[in-house]
A = this chain, B = another copy of it.
Amino acid sequence: MNLFYQPNIPEGIHYLDRDESHHAVRVMRLGEKQTIDLTDGRGLFYVAKITRADPKKCEFEIIEKKQIARRDFQVHIAIAPTKNADRMEWFVEKVTEIGVDQISFMFCKNSERKVINCERIEKVAVSAMKQSQQAWLPKINDMVSFKEIFSMNADQKFIAYVDASNPRHLQSAAKPEKNYLILVGPEGDFSKDELELALQNGFEKVSLGANRLRTETAALVSCQILNLKNI
């Protein structure tokens, strides 16, 4: 099944944007009266019938819609972007496939990247959502400072950090059916001050296992652990 994306269906937009129109009409060779599956990325799946097979603006009419409830837990990952942008795109693709609700990018003392291409990241997330047949697009937040993270809400707040005081594994620390926020640091790790500040602000220090993981792997592993707590 091929899933198309049109975020503005609830606002009455009943056509595909240019890229999606091209894909439907030119690549998949869909024509009038053929049905397509769509999502608005806000929890709705639609079945629609093509009414005008224009490769630049493919129009459709809705036949059916189906509401998909939000999960009874929420995973929010705040990550310090890696120097290599590909690794961030890969991370977004994989956590979207596995299941993530919100992604924030944060600037830390040891960060090697200060800006992120949100438009590009959003495209990767849309593509992964469609590929994995989901109706909810993760919320992607632009770069914020480390301190701004503290104003974000969650039931359980974690910071991935390994030191001699041997923190608990995230798998033991996380409780089911919660809204989680987990911070994953840059290649040079969080500074001692950042760790201290996070602990003062209600974050719990957690381990992700014995191996030293790259930033994007740590984020992926934590996402997977939090999803597994809820199956």
Question: Which of A36-44, A47-55, A103-111, A129-137 is found at the contact surface with chain B?
Answer: A129-137
CB neighbours (8 Å) of A213 from chain B are 97-98, 132
Query: Is the pair A97, B169 in contact by a Cβ cutoff of 8 Å?
Result: no
Other than the known A98-B211, A98-B213, what 18 A-B pairs have Cβ atoms closer than 8 Å?
Answer: A94-B217, A94-B220, A97-B211, A97-B213, A98-B209, A98-B221, A99-B209, A131-B212, A132-B211, A132-B212, A132-B213, A133-B211, A171-B228, A209-B227, A209-B231, A221-B224, A225-B228, A228-B228
Given A94-B217, A217-B94, A231-B171, decide whether A133 and B224 contact each other with a Cβ distance below 8 A. no
Q: Does A139 contact B (CB under 8 A)?
A: no
Closest beta carbon of chain B to A157's beta carbon, Å: 21
**Closest Cβ–Cβ distance, residue A218 to chain B (whole Å):** 9
- The total of chain A residues at the interface (CB under 8 A) is 24
Pairwise interchain contact B171-A217, C-beta atoms closer than 8 A:
no
Top 5 A-B pairs ranked by shortest CB distance?
A: A132-B211, A133-B212, A224-B224, A97-B217, A132-B212
CA distance A227 to B211 in the complex (A): 11
A211 / chain B contacts, CB cutoff of 8 Å: 97-99, 132-134
A114 nearest CB across to chain B (Å): 24
CB of A65 closer than 8 Å to a CB of B: no
Query: Which residues of chain B are near A209, meaning CB under 8 Å?
Result: 98-99, 227, 231
Interface: A90 (CB within 8 A): yes
Whole-angstrom CA separation of A171 from B224 in the bound complex: 12
**With an 8 A cutoff between CB atoms, is A214 at the interface?**
yes
A211–B132 alpha-carbon span in the complex (Å): 6
